[in-house]
Amino acid sequence: MGLIPQDKIELVKDANDIVDVVSGYVSLKKTGASFKACCPFHTEKTPSFVVSPAKQIWRCFGCGIGGNVFGFVEKAEHMSFAEAVRFLAERRGISIEYTDSGKPELRDQLLKLNELAAKYYKYVLESETGRAARHYLSQRGINAESLARWSLGFAQDSWDAFLKYAKTKGYTEQLIESAGLIIKNEQRGSYYDRFRNRIVFPVQDRNGKYCAFGARVTDKSLPKYLNSPETQVYVKSRILYGWPQAKAAVSESNTVIIVEGYMDVVMPHQYGVSNVVASMGTSLTKEQSQQIKRYAENVKLCYDLDKAGINASIRGIDVLIEEGLNVSVVVMPQGCKDPDELLVKKGKDAFLEAVNNAKDIVEFWLEAEKTSAGTELSGKIAVVAKMKPVINKVANELRRKGYIETISRKLGLEERVVEKEFSKEERSYSAAAVKGQANPAARERVCPPAEKELLTLILNSAEAAGRVCAELLDSDFTDNINAVIFSEIKRNIAERGVLDHSGIAAALAGEAAEAFTALSLDEREFAGQEKAEKDLVRHIMNNRIINRLKELEPEVKKVGRSEYDKNLVNEYYQLLRRLKGMKK
């Protein structure tokens, strides 16, 4: 019995709804968005045990323990983590052992059904029903070869055409629903097709098996794109659209071009540029980066450079750099918003030119930060501080030095100053480090209220979380546990693009996990949420400045002895001014 692979663990977690599981042990009562019960782990008369279906976590506010679905089973069944995973896998008929002979796994059934669906949609596109859709595609410039290469299809304007078809092939509604192809109407208890009146882009996994579908409207109706939900065979963070078709070219050119949408993949391939794939959703994940790393060293990010695209590019830097990949950003020429448009309007050479002129990632990032850096030294130092943890992940020392040189030059800072800033000991906030200090005396930690408030606020608003993560550093949280939680939130958002509470709970351990569930389940409304967020961020930023001032103080006191570092002293006074300005 070896280690259970991470994807299996994820699968098991997703298949076991926490409310469902916990209901097997205590009777839960719905109160607002959560469920309550008397705690199964200690004796009590008033319920203080809370389960959140939205966040897939639980916590007892009486005994202070909490976690995700695995943590609950570990406690309730006195199991180890691995045992809990097996227990829950069995509960949903998921096989964890190496494929046993005989009966096909659910996974295989889903893949087969998806293949049937891909063929069906393709058939509809080619039939009389698909005439308008074919016309639309040809107007968009897609040729017959591309239709075949990508198995493009069409879902007709009907509530149950696919459902009926799949049933005639012997698939049950339950299985078709697990594949994400139909949706249950809870009121009527009946099912209907997920994809209706849309062009269908079948998505293949890295082995070329159909694992999901994307579907696009042919008119102005919304949403423009509709995608399969995550299923047993479709874990979004692991898929790159177009990978099977692009793989050989990626390997040969040692370069992958990453774009945003299906059309942005289809078009370049049609024009003979085949090392192009799309990340599903805009943020790149660790799994995707690792997959790329096995085939190529160079990554060219080619997102729409609106605000979301710029942020996605910057978020992408972190995971890609950590894998040791060379990253640059492709900027579309004026008047073209994406590769699809550029190719259709200006052709292959214009596209290749844009790709070849991709901007060095650090230069691109600095440009995006230019306004926030401002002209004052403190602003520039803040940008340096923001880039430091990412740039310091660059393993190649020459490249890292090169980046530091670029940063100095672009910000107009002395290289020596930037170098110094970069070599400063980075505080380490790994969850493992905190796990080690299970010291009961540390239980009575004094937790700065502003940090706690801010964490509570961002845990209940993914939007606010995105903003705050872009602004604050882990080290801004003076409480170690808060820093660990914040760091994990940040990682979660960067990897998944959403707040996955049960994932965060699983990544944390011990006290940090307990503190996290308490913050996460504190679902109060913040009066004037935006102002509260701003005030809290400012408060914490102030502390950052105050701490830096303290560090700089000895330098300033050297004045008169003529051996002080002028830059550091300048920084001191600028920070002092900034602090005064913020207090107004």
| Residues at the interface with Zn ion (CB under 5 A) | 39, 41-42, 60, 62-63
CB of 514 vs Zn ion, minimal distance in Å: 12
CB of 75 vs Zn ion, minimal distance in Å: 10
CB of 39 vs Zn ion, minimal distance in Å: 3
CB of 38 vs Zn ion, minimal distance in Å: 8
Give the residue with the Cβ less far from Zn ion, 63 or 470: 63
CB of 48 vs Zn ion, minimal distance in Å: 6
Say how far apart CA 143 and CA 125 lie, in whole Å.
14
Q: Which of 231, 182, 193 is nearest to 210 (CA)?
A: 231
Give the residue with the Cβ less far from Zn ion, 63 or 331: 63
Say how far apart CA 61 and CA 44 lie, in whole Å.
11
Q: How many CB atoms lie within 10 A of CB 7?
A: 13
Distance of CA 139 to the CA centre of its chain: 34
Give the residue with the Cβ less far from Zn ion, 36 or 122: 36
Q: Looking at the DSSP assignment, which residues form a beta bridge with residue 214? A: 201, 227
Q: Locate 516 and state its tokens.
A: 């996290």
Say how far apart CA 54 and CA 52 lie, in whole Å.
5
Cβ neighbours for 239, distance < 8 A, ≥ 6 positions apart = 203, 205, 206, 211, 212, 280, 288
Angle at 373 between CA 367 and CA 379, to 5 degrees: 160
Give the residue with the Cβ less far from Zn ion, 75 or 410: 75
φ, ψ (nearest 5 deg) of residue 22: -65, -35
Q: Which of 182, 241, 210 is nearest to 116 (CA)?
A: 210
Say how far apart CA 405 and CA 308 lie, in whole Å.
28
- Amino acid symbol at 521: L
Q: Is the CA virtual torsion 333, 339, 341, 342 positive or negative?
A: positive
Say how far apart CA 452 and CA 84 lie, in whole Å.
31
C-alpha dist (Å) from residue 545 to 43, 573, 578: 47, 11, 9
Give the residue with the Cβ less far from Zn ion, 41 or 81: 41
Give the residue with the Cβ less far from Zn ion, 25 or 225: 25
Q: Is the CA virtual torsion 415, 418, 421, 426 positive or negative?
A: negative
CB of 62 vs Zn ion, minimal distance in Å: 4
Q: What is the DSSP letter of 68?
A: -
Distance of CA 182 to the CA centre of its chain: 26
Say how far apart CA 78 and CA 58 lie, in whole Å.
17
Give the residue with the Cβ less far from Zn ion, 46 or 101: 46
Orientation angle between helical segments 243-253 and 262-270, nearest 10 degrees: 60
Q: Looking at the DSSP assignment, which residues form a beta bridge with residue 215? A: 200, 226
CB of 25 vs Zn ion, minimal distance in Å: 13
Distance of CA 522 to the CA centre of its chain: 23
Distance of CA 177 to the CA centre of its chain: 25
Give the residue with the Cβ less far from Zn ion, 443 or 557: 443
Q: Which of 241, 268, 272 is nearest to 344 (CA)?
A: 268
CB of 41 vs Zn ion, minimal distance in Å: 5
Give the residue with the Cβ less far from Zn ion, 46 or 221: 46
CB of 579 vs Zn ion, minimal distance in Å: 44
Give the residue with the Cβ less far from Zn ion, 64 or 448: 64
Distance of CA 322 to the CA centre of its chain: 15
Give the residue with the Cβ less far from Zn ion, 66 or 339: 66
CB of 556 vs Zn ion, minimal distance in Å: 52
Q: Which of 175, 173, 172, 211 is nearest to 192 (CA)?
A: 173
β strands within 240-283, DSSP E: 240-241, 255-259, 276-279
CB of 515 vs Zn ion, minimal distance in Å: 16
Tell me whether the omega of the peptide bond preceding residue 223 falls within 30 degrees of 0, making it cis: yes
- The alpha carbon torsion through 482, 483, 489, 494 (nearest 10 deg) reads 170
CB of 502 vs Zn ion, minimal distance in Å: 19
Give the residue with the Cβ less far from Zn ion, 40 or 347: 40
CB of 521 vs Zn ion, minimal distance in Å: 13
CB of 56 vs Zn ion, minimal distance in Å: 19
Give the residue with the Cβ less far from Zn ion, 66 or 202: 66
CB of 49 vs Zn ion, minimal distance in Å: 6
Give the residue with the Cβ less far from Zn ion, 9 or 50: 50
Give the residue with the Cβ less far from Zn ion, 58 or 201: 58
